[in-house]
């Protein structure tokens, strides 16, 4: 019996020394889980391409909810500051997002929103470079929570965020 235990112990030590031990961790599974987490975080930060069509002078709600940056309403290329912007606040998120690109010489953007049935708490613009929802761009002038002016860069993607905790239409 003593010899059998010794033989098993020697065999086990030989397997350890040669690296032939069976690894009980599934490295492929761990790598796959890490990749899924990375893809999920990328999806959370991605925004739609604003396209190459010219943005209208009046921005009307397209009837869908655009409550996250990933589902932002696509507006196109802004040649001039929109005269009118309207939208419905997503009741689940309290937001409506628009994505747009500035024309090369369009370096200002302003909003003057009307609270139809919403109580707009704030309006922000975020950097959208590389189609990633980025940092908030500080405004040049804030007249009120619905009247704001920004200095922007030409030929750059941005995301306009309108927030109302009570929802509604603006």
What are the domain boundaries of the chain? Answer: 2-45, 58-169
Higher model confidence: residue 55 or residue 21?
A: 55
pLDDT digits (tens, 9 = 90+) for 48-104: 999 999 999 999 999 999 999 999 999 999 999 999 999 999 999 999 999 999 999
Q: What pLDDT is recorded for position 8?
A: 42
pLDDT mean over 106-129: 96
Strands (E), the chain: 58-59, 73-78, 84-85, 88-89, 95-102, 108-112, 122-127, 136-137, 141-144, 147-151, 157-163, 168-169
* Residue appearing with tokens 């002078």: 57
Bridge partners, 148 (sequence order): 111, 142
26 half-sphere exposure, CB direction, 13 A CA radius: 6
pLDDT digits (tens, 9 = 90+) for 133-167: 999 999 999 999 999 999 999 999 999 999 999 99
Of 167, 83, 82, 157, nearest in space to 118 by CA:
167
| The 147-151 sheet, strands edge to edge | 108-112, 147-151, 141-144
Q: What pLDDT is recorded for position 14?
A: 43
Q: What is the CATH number of domain 58-169?
A: 2.60.120
Q: What pLDDT is recorded for position 22?
A: 42
Q: What's the pTM?
A: 0.76
Q: What pLDDT is recorded for position 44?
A: 67
Q: What pLDDT is recorded for position 75?
A: 98
Q: What pLDDT is recorded for position 15?
A: 38
């Amino acid at each position: 019996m003593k010899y059998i235990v010794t033989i098993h112990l020697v065999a086990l030590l030989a397997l350890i020394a040669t690296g032939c031990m069976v690894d009980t961790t599934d490295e492929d599974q761990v790598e796959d889980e890490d990749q899924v987490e990375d893809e999920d975080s990328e999806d959370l930060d991605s925004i739609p391409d604003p396209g190459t069509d010219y943005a209208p002078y009046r921005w009307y709600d397209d009837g869908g909810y655009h409550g996250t940056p990933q589902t932002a309403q696509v507006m196109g290329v802004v040649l001039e500051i929109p005269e009118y912007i309207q939208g419905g606040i997503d009741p689940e998120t309290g937001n409506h997002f628009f994505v747009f690109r500035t024309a090369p010489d369009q370096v200002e953007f302003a909003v003057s929103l009307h609270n139809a049935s919403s109580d707009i708490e704030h309006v922000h613009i975020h950097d959208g470079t590389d189609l990633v929802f980025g940092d908030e761009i500080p405004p040049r002038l804030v007249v009120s929570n619905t009247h704001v002016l920004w200095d922007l860069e030409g030929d750059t993607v941005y995301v306009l965020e309108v927030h109302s905790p009570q929802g509604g239409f603006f």
